[in-house]
Structure 1
């Protein structure tokens, strides 16, 4: 019986069994789309990745990202973790791996810069593949219905709940306090109603956050996507990037570089730290990078039917 090798890593952490787990199939040649989806469902992680040779030989690889229910065009922790796994291998499809990688993905080309300490890869920085996109606002009652909170706990001093994306779309909403954030509990019926009633949303992934007044760029967040079989995600780089880009876009300054730290997964017991840098020029966000550490956890083989 043939087999498919995999490695799992915890992403956006330096502590094993924290952060966001990811399974990486670093040579997925010959695996069908249907098999990829079934493997992703079997792992049950928020995402798994399948690495294939690039269509353009100037790039490092083609990377496909699957949640338990669907393929997605881009996500943060899968890119950081996949780059980490490939770098630790030292080579990919017969070619050595350098300190800069380029992944072909459905959302576009994703650039990755590796970070080393004492010669070992410890972290990676990725660049969001698409410009910031801002879509329609979302009623407070829809957000509240998704996570069983009082609509009055939604803070709208900076913005109303809204859809934002830098490659993958999320509903984002600010809450008044850490207590309100901790009280959030996903309601499947609420998410189903939200997906039905919000314009242009086939799914509904909700990113909630709190900004301390004293340190507004050190953000605490939670992400829920039960319609995608992800009740809660320990770390969501793509949502963190979209939120950070959006908040910087709202600043009055026309030219600014802003560092943002987002802490996520605390309520799950899987604390994650996501570091972001946003560049705004002439009033437009031009660049968003997502950085995080990784730690290896498991490796093994998936048995394939002959």
Structure 2
């Protein structure tokens, strides 16, 4: 019998039972790929992460990230939650790098208790900027798939990739974000990203884009197609928050800029995400991590 310790943490949380839940396995040596996938399916959270010894120079630890259905090269809230656990285990620095399949992710903990990551898209800046591509469906059709009108759109939906490609759907108001309801009957027609995942990150600025509040307040939701059919919703999505920073730059907006994103309220899991796009175009995503439980899994 093999024992594997895990911790349950809430990421982007402002209270004990807010935020996006994450399971982190402290020492995953000896687990096979199949076992990691089965454990992610067992916990049935949006992601489960596994800590392993680093393979790249400069990393304090390596992490692998699994949804209940697949492994991911990068995800935001698992990176922040894993960083919290790595620091606890190693009694280490407040700044270090985590290794994942997307590369090295710089992590930092500030004096206010907010963990921040730097999105792994920097090489793309050297080749013309953030990766974007037009959505293959007309804006009116995307709006209809979300139960919205084309007049609810601030601009055309677009694919953005600053670490994980997602469809960003800018809306004119927080009310439009709240009323978005993906139509499961149209799931087969929903556009998929380059690895076959179907999702949409809908968001709206509380103030007009032309205004200049600091930080900007944003309301957002992230919906995704489940493997068993229908749509689910993620309470706090760090990779999509990073893509919002990429969208901002792709729109030719001024940097530096900072934003505070509210997500998960309608799910009863309020999340607060901090986004900063620096003058040199680094994208930083941050939030608090609250640990709520520890345990062990026994594997035969």
Distance 1:290 1:252 in 2: 18
Q: Which runs of 5+ in 1 are unaligned?
A: none
1:44 counterpart residue number = 44
2:252 pairs with 1:258? no
2:294 counterpart residue number = 299
8 Å CA contact 2:171–2:202 kept in 1: the answer is yes
8 Å CA contact 1:188–1:227 kept in 2: the answer is no
The residue correspondences of 1:53-64 to structure 2 (distance < 5 A) are 53-64=53-64
1:239 counterpart residue number = 240
2:207 counterpart residue number = 213
The residue correspondences of 1:188-199 to structure 2 (distance < 5 A) are 188-195=184-191
Post-superposition offset of 1:77: 0.6
1:259-285 Cα deviation digits (max 9, x unpaired): 11111001111111110110244xxxx
Residues matched between the structures, number: 285
2:282 counterpart residue number = 287
Post-superposition offset of 1:201: 5.8
2:127 counterpart residue number = none
Higher strand share: 1
2:221 counterpart residue number = 222
SS at match of 2:276: strand
Post-superposition offset of 1:98: 1.5
8 Å CA contact 1:209–1:219 kept in 2: the answer is yes
1:186-205 Cα deviation digits (max 9, x unpaired): 3334333113xx67461122
Distance 1:8 1:183 in 2: 31
8 Å CA contact 2:207–2:216 kept in 1: the answer is no
SS at match of 1:155: coil
Distance 2:252 2:279 in 1: 10
2:198 pairs with 1:204? yes
Aligned-CA RMSD value: 2.1
1:135-154 Cα deviation digits (max 9, x unpaired): 12342244234422233322
